[in-house]
Structure 1
């Protein structure tokens, strides 16, 4: 057996063990992800005898430390029957009963005022203490219940069930989506109790005792829910170092990474293994990074996990963010062909088909999703996109609402529902939908851009500028983001900043295609995502010229009008803008309304400078354009009169 095959076999056993441990702790999504990853490893010949397979396939090997802590092993053996009982309660969603199997009913309860960190004392509540029950009878303080010592696995299951119970009650307390009583500030009421229990446990664990990272993961979740991001990040980093194959911990860590600088800073603290590579790839995809390093990492991982549909999905999403809709559609289509009942990321696939205007395939996708599971948020988003493409916006909103009833934190549904409310001119509901999306994920540029467009419709340009700037910071290479910023600066009377933003859009256009990022229905022809739209380039150059005219810098305005006119033939007229000749002017626009306006402006400019020959040439070209013929004829009469008077 070669070394590579031994390493792959050991990696498979490690991931399978991780899936088993996730399943034992009722982390079903992490268990599913790990099992799929193990199944996607490079194939291995099954012609090995038992002696060769024994070192690799040893069934009782520990996950990260073959010599399991003797105390923990003894506790787990003693409470095995109770553990099976508690897990059965959890599987039946009886979370409180699951907790009560291992923890006393005296577990502290109460609302989360300030989430305490390790070692911090909770301040007593203000006001007179209440020592009577609701009948008015004096109430004796019950003696503290000393819990029986349990294993780390049992403690995790009990506290995780307590956490899930709080989440369930929080969902039950919420009203209808965007209704008058829809509460956004509700918090899990069990966080204080869980935090206190975990802090007590960590204080009692000696340095010699082994921890497996599961309780650290749960504590990180509690801290993140309590908006204590810095400490949550620290505990989650500790968790992934102790238990690298718990995908749930990596996902929580991804949510706490807000920009590429934070990602770069956290990478050195992570374990040096394949999971760190997957985390880096996934985080870069969420941050819309398309560098060569990201693609190289993806290729290396696909070589190790050639059948991984998760990695194929990351490839499709990277292409989607790069505006290569055709490539992303082909990748998603291949995934669907291999696993027709896989609904993960189906909402993104439906977005791609919507943008491409491929209604037949979108209808097929919606039908397939409904046949697979109609109570999945991804299915509802696919059906909503189908109705949106048919301009049935009320039905689309109905399905996006249904997706949010299934999962209130489903980001795509909030953003897409905001788009639909914009189409129905319901700006208040659109703003609220986008705000919910931003609250869930502040890295979603589509929601920020949607807020900017909605406030622009309301002519609140300072608000609109703020949101457009947030969107452009997330998508600095998307020219449409900078054009929106420039338009806002123009509306509030700041032409200098508008010019800078327009120039940023021209530079960004050499990296991205200029397909609009909001309800777009067009794509670049070759799907490469590197050739800017010549029509948008011409419009941007014309707008820059208008800004210079407003600043009374007419020579500079004339130079940009010349550059606008040059786009008709695809020529690159260089000026003070530093843009390489790798996209600007590479495609001809032909005669458009924008280029005709530039030609008219130049004709009048040349007439004012008494350059009658050039002015007459431009005016005659305007007559041939057939766009501003009457004004061109009037201009020709003025030019001829000037010529005759000079003679």
Structure 2
């Protein structure tokens, strides 16, 4: 993607405009996002825009709507007063500058709804015959109205947080609501009704109030209506990144993303929205990598895009590349704390304790009371196995921000380590309440219920995790193991075969599984996980299907050497689905000829498989094979004593049959 000089100039002007307009409405995160992108644009020789013979910045152009411009000019003194109150976090005072409580109360009372009377346990709806007189809304500019209503919305959020009990305390139910949602929603509904045209459009609206109304609807769990208002908002003002983020929070499937994207304006911001939301849905296709590369050619130093690049590698399970990307991001933006909690997760998994200690020191020195800093420090204490201290910091992160997803999930992990299953389950549940797309929380719930041997519950949660991340072998391994414990071996085998199938799509180096070659021509190729193969073989053995069990035991043993032997001839057996993993947007599989087939060496799983094969050979009177396998077991050092006993038994059988002097094969 290459832009002409004129297009870059237009993009720069739009970003400058977004910084100021978002800042005027106190949307600080959206303003910061636009400012960071603006400064990531490479500088050109002439950036000034000439207006009527004078050199001026395009951000100072007046409001294009003359009526709104006149109202803004009249309200300037009041607006500056209200904004100063907002900046000092005096939200109620800010709202009262333009919308006193008496006015808001009259608007609320003007829309009477059916009242419900409870009689002897039965609900009976009775509609009042009184009709209220509609309240005439004051003539306020949209900028001032947004600021006042947004302040009222935040006032409710602030009071909700203050009324909430201590994190995970005895009274912390997580169900306290924002009491200002009703009044803000009613006012906006009345405002839209006054301006609605016959075609259903809102005359003269600039998009900001649609964004605020969408947030209110989203808080009230009216997701479908909220999305429609968000889409209207981005059509009227595209550069409000906060609106795009709100849409992301309401999207749970890739299909929903594609459908919504078709209704949105097609420009560079919607391009970024597609990239960001796909990463939130844990996608890692080659098409996303291409999109990101094109955006980075325009904004080469953008912290937002560099973070996306690191997360793309993280979701692709290339942890070393993700660590390098985050390291570069930290060197370019050493005071930026956003997304460093993800970086700490990577360092934790890679067991890079010195780097994690350094990252914790940096975060603490910049701002120790940011949720991201608390999560990083909590991860550091977790790596030191100081789980109580880690829980303390994750609690602190949640005290600062109840919607901090990483803190809820990681605190659940710590409670699992502390054997406090009740607290772990509650932590994971709260993580799911914050974001139902978080497969880690669903997986954690499955693990915790499995620990207390409630396998039916565990299976349900494992399936939720597998549904969110269907091409993650770890999810299907968990499903298969849980089904086995429930006595459903046939279904468990299917799940474990799928784990083999999907793991073959990833290169070696993932945090779980064995990786391996790509699946070419619909056949299972490349290295497979010996533990999964052993588990499948054992389940076939429990079903009494010895030939199938023997085939998987042999395939398990073959993983020691790797190469062609490890690929086996079980293509038809492993191939249980006709759909192919989403390795790329066009459904094709990338070339992986250069991926090696190194063996795993001797493992506990391969030794157990070899022992089973040796005993199977004894049962079928194949004493030479049994002797060879048992002798190999003596050299493995895993089950030596049992192998020596088997060797002695084989030799006695051979001597009894007069075949001891024959070649051992």
With structure 2 as the length reference, what TM-score do the two structures score? 0.87
Query: What's the offset of the Cα at 1:228?
Result: 0.4
Following the alignment from structure 1 to structure 2, what is the Cα–Cα distance between the partners of residues 583 and 420?
40
For the Cα contact (< 8 Å) 1:619–1:633, is it kept in 2? yes
Query: What's the offset of the Cα at 1:109?
Result: 5.9
Following the alignment from structure 1 to structure 2, what is the Cα–Cα distance between the partners of residues 15 and 121?
43
2:600 equivalent in structure 1 = 589
2:568 equivalent in structure 1 = 573
1:124 equivalent in structure 2 = 115
Paired residue for 2:640, among 598, 609, 629? 629
1:135 equivalent in structure 2 = none
- Distance change in 2, residues 1:212/1:585 (3 Å): same
Query: What's the offset of the Cα at 1:72?
Result: 1.4
Following the alignment from structure 2 to structure 1, what is the Cα–Cα distance between the partners of residues 508 and 115?
58
For the Cα contact (< 8 Å) 2:528–2:559, is it kept in 1? no
Following the alignment from structure 1 to structure 2, what is the Cα–Cα distance between the partners of residues 240 and 55?
30
| Paired residue secondary structure (1:126) | strand
Pairs within 5 Å for 1:416-435:
416-435=410-429
- Distance change in 2, residues 1:631/1:53 (3 Å): farther
Offset from partner CA, 1:351-373 (integer Å, 9 cap, x none): 11111111111111111111111
Offset from partner CA, 1:356-404 (integer Å, 9 cap, x none): 1111111111111111111100111111111111111111111111111
1:16 aligns with 2:33: no
- Distance change in 2, residues 1:79/1:157 (3 Å): same
Following the alignment from structure 2 to structure 1, what is the Cα–Cα distance between the partners of residues 165 and 510?
35
Following the alignment from structure 2 to structure 1, what is the Cα–Cα distance between the partners of residues 95 and 612?
77
Following the alignment from structure 1 to structure 2, what is the Cα–Cα distance between the partners of residues 584 and 458?
41
Paired residue for 2:167, among 154, 177, 185? 177
2:584 equivalent in structure 1 = none
Pairs within 5 Å for 1:516-527:
none
Following the alignment from structure 2 to structure 1, what is the Cα–Cα distance between the partners of residues 80 and 340?
35
Paired residue for 1:607, among 598, 603, 618? 618
Pairs within 5 Å for 1:125-140:
125-126=116-117
Pairs within 5 Å for 1:491-510:
491-510=485-504
For the Cα contact (< 8 Å) 1:106–1:144, is it kept in 2? no
Following the alignment from structure 2 to structure 1, what is the Cα–Cα distance between the partners of residues 476 and 403?
29
In terms of mean alpha carbon deviation, does 293-302 or 47-56 score higher?
Answer: 47-56
For the Cα contact (< 8 Å) 1:514–1:536, is it kept in 2? no
Pairs within 5 Å for 1:245-256:
245-256=239-250
Offset from partner CA, 1:552-610 (integer Å, 9 cap, x none): 11011001111011111113222234579979991212222221211111122122222
Following the alignment from structure 1 to structure 2, what is the Cα–Cα distance between the partners of residues 76 and 51?
22
1:476 equivalent in structure 2 = 470
| Paired residue secondary structure (1:298) | helix
- Distance change in 2, residues 1:96/1:50 (3 Å): closer
Following the alignment from structure 2 to structure 1, what is the Cα–Cα distance between the partners of residues 142 and 32?
22
For the Cα contact (< 8 Å) 1:409–1:440, is it kept in 2? yes
Offset from partner CA, 1:252-294 (integer Å, 9 cap, x none): 0000000111111111101010011000000011111111111
1:561 aligns with 2:525: no
1:160 equivalent in structure 2 = 150
Pairs within 5 Å for 1:269-348:
269-348=263-342
For structure 2, the 5+ residue unaligned runs are 120-130, 576-588, 659-665
1:132 equivalent in structure 2 = none
Query: What's the offset of the Cα at 1:449?
Result: 1.2
In terms of mean alpha carbon deviation, does 316-325 or 554-563 score higher?
Answer: 316-325
Following the alignment from structure 2 to structure 1, what is the Cα–Cα distance between the partners of residues 56 and 158?
41
1:136 equivalent in structure 2 = none
Offset from partner CA, 1:2-35 (integer Å, 9 cap, x none): 9811211111111110111111111111111111
Following the alignment from structure 2 to structure 1, what is the Cα–Cα distance between the partners of residues 444 and 333?
33
2:585 equivalent in structure 1 = none
For the Cα contact (< 8 Å) 2:378–2:389, is it kept in 1? yes
| Paired residue secondary structure (2:101) | coil
For the Cα contact (< 8 Å) 1:558–1:602, is it kept in 2? yes
Paired residue for 2:401, among 402, 407, 415? 407
RMSD after superposition = 3.1
Following the alignment from structure 2 to structure 1, what is the Cα–Cα distance between the partners of residues 169 and 229?
37
| Paired residue secondary structure (2:459) | helix
Following the alignment from structure 1 to structure 2, what is the Cα–Cα distance between the partners of residues 635 and 361?
49
| Paired residue secondary structure (1:588) | coil
| Paired residue secondary structure (1:391) | coil
| Paired residue secondary structure (1:106) | helix
1:354 equivalent in structure 2 = 348
Pairs within 5 Å for 1:175-214:
175-207=165-197, 209-214=203-208
2:536 equivalent in structure 1 = 544
Offset from partner CA, 1:60-112 (integer Å, 9 cap, x none): 446xxxx72222122111111111111111111111111111113224569x9
For the Cα contact (< 8 Å) 1:176–1:182, is it kept in 2? yes
Query: What's the offset of the Cα at 1:624?
Result: 2.7
For the Cα contact (< 8 Å) 1:568–1:591, is it kept in 2? yes
Question: How many residue pairs get matched?
Answer: 617
Query: What's the offset of the Cα at 1:543?
Result: 0.7
1:381 equivalent in structure 2 = 375
Following the alignment from structure 2 to structure 1, what is the Cα–Cα distance between the partners of residues 597 and 624?
29
1:104 equivalent in structure 2 = 100
Following the alignment from structure 2 to structure 1, what is the Cα–Cα distance between the partners of residues 111 and 656?
92
In terms of mean alpha carbon deviation, does 637-646 or 353-362 score higher?
Answer: 637-646
1:131 equivalent in structure 2 = none
For the Cα contact (< 8 Å) 2:515–2:527, is it kept in 1? no
Following the alignment from structure 2 to structure 1, what is the Cα–Cα distance between the partners of residues 484 and 594?
26
Offset from partner CA, 1:130-173 (integer Å, 9 cap, x none): xxxxxxxxxxx999875431111111111111101110110111
For the Cα contact (< 8 Å) 2:296–2:305, is it kept in 1? yes
| Paired residue secondary structure (2:117) | coil
1:619 aligns with 2:626: no
Following the alignment from structure 1 to structure 2, what is the Cα–Cα distance between the partners of residues 49 and 194?
39
1:232 equivalent in structure 2 = 226
For the Cα contact (< 8 Å) 1:69–1:209, is it kept in 2? no
